C-alpha cells in the first residue's frame, strides 16, 4: 500500500515542527534585540533633548548641512548630552589628542545616554583602547601602494575606487581610513579628481567605478553631479557605485533633490554601512525609500565588530531589518587590523558561526558574503562554511545546513 495523503500531511507537520525547533533559539533571542523601530519613541525624546541644547527647530534638524556644522567633537558639549563619568571625560579628551572624532546630532540621538556599552555609542564615541593599540597597522590594505593615480585605489582588473573626500557625517571608531581623516574636512582638489578621471579614461578595461572617501555624500549635489557626469561620458565605464554611511549616520542628507540628481546617472548603485539593528530607524527608512524610488539598488556592507554585532542572532536581526527598508545585505567584513581599532576585531570562528546560523535558517536575501580582505591589498576573500565534503568521479558528498550528508551524482553519463 502506498503512502496516503493523510500520511504525507503528517510527515509535513512533523517536518514543520522540526524546522520550528531549529529556529526557536532565534525566535526567543529576537524579543530582546533592540531595533530602531522599537526605540522610536526614545529616539524622539533624545532628539528633543539635543534640539533644546542647540536651540534648534525642526527645519534645522532636517537640514543635513546643519547636522554637519553641529557635529559634536568636544567633550564639554558631549557631557551635556550623554552621561559621562569623570574617567570617561578624561579618556575621550586623551584619545582626541591623537585621533579626530565627531558625531552628528542625529546619530547621537540613537545612543543610550546612560550606557557606555550601547552598540551605537561604541561606534561613535572614542575609547581609551584606541591609543592603547600597539598591534594594528595604519594601512593594512596597502592602499598607498595600489594607487596608480591621485585619489585612486586599484586592486582588481576591471574596477577601482576614487577617494573623493576625507569628510564624514561621523568619524566611526572602527574606520579603516582613519589615517586620512586629518584635522580639517578636505574634499579632493579638482585637479586630483581630473587626474583620476583621466586615468580611467585612458584604461579601457575599467568598467566599474566606486566613489568613496570619507563619505562622497558630504559633497554638494553639484559636485557629485559633475563627477558622475564625467564618468558617464567615458564609454567603457558601465556602472558607477557610491559608498556612503549617511543613510545611517545622517539620513537628512538623502534629500529629494539629491535623489533627483542621482537618478540622472543610471546605472548607479549605493552601498551603505549599517552595523546594528538599532541603527535601522524610521529616519533611515525615509532615506532608503527615497533612494529606492530613484531606482538605485541598495546594498549593505556591515563590519563584524566585537561587542556590537558578533552574535548570530543580532546579525540575523540586522539583516531582517535591512530588508524591511529596501537594503540587501551584501557583505559582512571581518574587521581590518587598523591601528587604533583592533579592540573591535573578532575571531574568524565568530564570523563562521554567524554564517552557519544564516544559511538555511533564513531567506537567501538575508545572507551576505563573509569577507576577509587579504593583507596588503590582495583582495576580498570569501569565507564560508564547507558544504562540499568530498568529490569523486561519479558523485559528490554534500553537507546541508542541518549537518546532514548526502550523496549527489556528479553529472550523468548517456
In which residue are the cell numbers 563562521 written?
A: 352
Q: Which residues pair with 329 in a beta bridge?
A: 300
Contact 12, 18 (CB under 8 A): no
Q: Confidence band (pLDDT; 50, 70, 90) for 248? A: very high
CA gap 378, 48 in Å, rounded: 47
| 61 burial via Cβ count (<10 Å: 0-12, 13-18, 19+) | buried
Check residue 338 and give its pLDDT. 94
**Any domain includes 214:** yes
Check residue 414 and give its pLDDT. 60
42: left (phi over 0), alpha (psi -120 to 50) or beta: alpha
Identify whether residues 265 and 403 lie together within a single domain: no
- Of 44-58, 127-141, 219-233, give the lowest mean pLDDT range: 127-141
Identify whether residues 191 and 293 lie together within a single domain: yes
Q: Which residue has the higher pLDDT, 133 or 414?
A: 133
In CATH, what number is assigned to the domain containing residue 97? 3.20.20.70
Output the pTM of the full model: 0.95
Range of the domain at 412: 385-414
Q: Which residues pair with 398 in a beta bridge?
A: 388, 406
Domains contained in the chain, number? 2
Check residue 63 and give its pLDDT. 98
Identify whether residues 409 and 281 lie together within a single domain: no
**Any domain includes 1:** no
Identify whether residues 413 and 293 lie together within a single domain: no
Per residue in 166-205, pLDDT tens?
A: 999 999 999 988 888 877 788 999 999 999 999 999 999 9
Mean pLDDT of 385-414: 91
Share of the chain above pLDDT 90, in %: 90
CA gap 240, 207 in Å, rounded: 9
**Residue-averaged pLDDT of the chain:** 95
Identify whether residues 188 and 316 lie together within a single domain: yes
Identify whether residues 296 and 400 lie together within a single domain: no
Has residue 349 got a pLDDT over 80?
A: yes
Cell of 251: 539620513
**Any domain includes 365:** yes
Cell of 50: 539635543
Identify whether residues 33 and 144 lie together within a single domain: yes
Identify whether residues 349 and 395 lie together within a single domain: no
**Any domain includes 5:** no
Share of the chain above pLDDT 70, in %: 99
Check residue 413 and give its pLDDT. 66
Per residue in 303-318, pLDDT tens?
A: 999 999 999 999 999 9
**Any domain includes 392:** yes
**Any domain includes 294:** yes
Check residue 135 and give its pLDDT. 87
Q: How many residues does the chain have?
A: 414
**Any domain includes 351:** yes
Identify whether residues 321 and 403 lie together within a single domain: no
Q: Sign (positive/negative) of CA torsion 103, 107, 113, 115?
A: negative
Identify whether residues 259 and 379 lie together within a single domain: yes
349: left (phi over 0), alpha (psi -120 to 50) or beta: alpha
**Any domain includes 399:** yes
Contact 206, 241 (CB under 8 A): no
Identify whether residues 320 and 410 lie together within a single domain: no
Identify whether residues 248 and 392 lie together within a single domain: no
Amino acid at each position: 500500500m502506498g503512502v496516503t495523503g493523510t500520511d504525507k500531511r503528517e510527515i509535513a507537520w512533523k517536518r514543520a515542527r522540526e524546522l520550528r525547533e531549529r529556529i526557536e533559539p532565534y525566535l526567543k533571542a529576537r524579543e530582546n534585540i533592540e531595533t530602531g523601530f522599537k526605540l522610536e519613541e526614545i529616539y524622539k525624546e533624545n532628539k528633543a533633548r539635543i534640539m533644546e541644547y542647540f536651540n534648534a527647530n525642526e527645519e534645522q534638524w532636517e537640514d543635513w548641512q546643519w547636522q554637519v556644522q553641529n557635529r559634536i567633537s568636544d567633550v564639554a558639549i558631549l557631557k551635556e548630552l550623554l552621561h559621562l563619568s569623570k574617567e570617561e571625560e578624561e579618556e575621550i579628551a586623551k584619545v582626541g589628542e591623537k585621533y579626530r572624532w565627531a558625531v552628528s546630532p542625529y546619530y547621537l540621538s540613537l545612543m543610550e545616554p546612560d550606557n557606555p556599552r550601547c552598540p551605537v555609542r561604541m561606534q561613535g564615541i572614542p575609547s581609551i583602547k584606541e591609543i592603547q593599540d600597539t598591534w594594528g597597522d595604519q594601512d593594512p590594505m596597502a592602499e598607498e601602494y595600489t594607487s596608480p593615480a591621485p585619489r585612486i585605489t586599484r586592486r582588481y582588473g576591471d574596477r577601482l575606487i576614487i577617494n573623493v573626500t576625507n569628510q564624514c557625517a561621523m568619524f566611526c571608531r572602527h574606520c579603516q581610513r582613519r589615517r586620512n581623516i586629518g584635522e580639517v574636512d578636505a574634499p579632493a582638489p579638482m585637479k586630483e579628481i581630473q587626474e583620476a578621471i583621466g586615468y580611467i579614461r585612458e584604461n579601457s578595461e575599467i568598467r566599474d567605478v566606486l566613489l568613496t572617501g570619507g563619505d562622497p555624500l558630504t559633497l554638494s549635489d553639484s559636485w557629485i553631479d559633475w563627477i558622475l557626469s564625467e564618468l558617464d561620458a567615458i564609454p567603457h565605464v558601465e556602472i558607477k557605485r557610491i559608498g556612503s554611511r549617511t543613510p545611517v549616520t545622517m539620513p537628512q542628507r538623502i534629500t529629494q533633490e539629491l535623489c533627483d540628481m542621482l537618478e540622472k546617472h543610471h546605472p548607479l548603485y549605493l552601498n551603505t554601512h549599517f552595523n546594528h539593528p538599532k541603527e535601522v530607524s524610521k529616519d533611515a527608512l525615509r532615506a532608503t525609500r527615497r533612494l529606492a524610488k530613484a531606482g538605485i539598488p541598495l546594498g549593505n556592507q556591515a563590519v563584524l565588530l566585537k561587542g556590537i554585532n558578533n552574535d548570530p542572532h543580532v546579525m540575523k536581526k540586522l539583516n531582517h531589518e535591512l530588508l524591511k527598508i529596501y537594503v540587501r545585505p551584501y557583505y559582512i567584513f571581518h574587521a581590518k587590523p587598523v591601528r587604533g581599532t583592533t579592540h573591535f576585531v573578532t575571531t574568524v570562528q565568530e564570523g563562521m558561526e554567524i554564517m552557519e546560523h544564516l544559511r538555511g535558517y533564513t531567506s537567501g536575501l538575508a545572507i551576505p558574503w563573509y569577507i576577509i580582505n587579504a593583507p596588503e591589498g590582495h583582495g576580498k576573500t570569501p569565507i564560508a562554511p564547507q558544504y562540499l565534503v568530498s568529490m569523486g568521479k561519479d558523485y559528490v558528498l554534500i553537507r546541508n545546513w542541518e549537518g546532514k550528508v548526502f550523496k549527489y551524482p556528479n553529472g550523468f553519463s548517456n
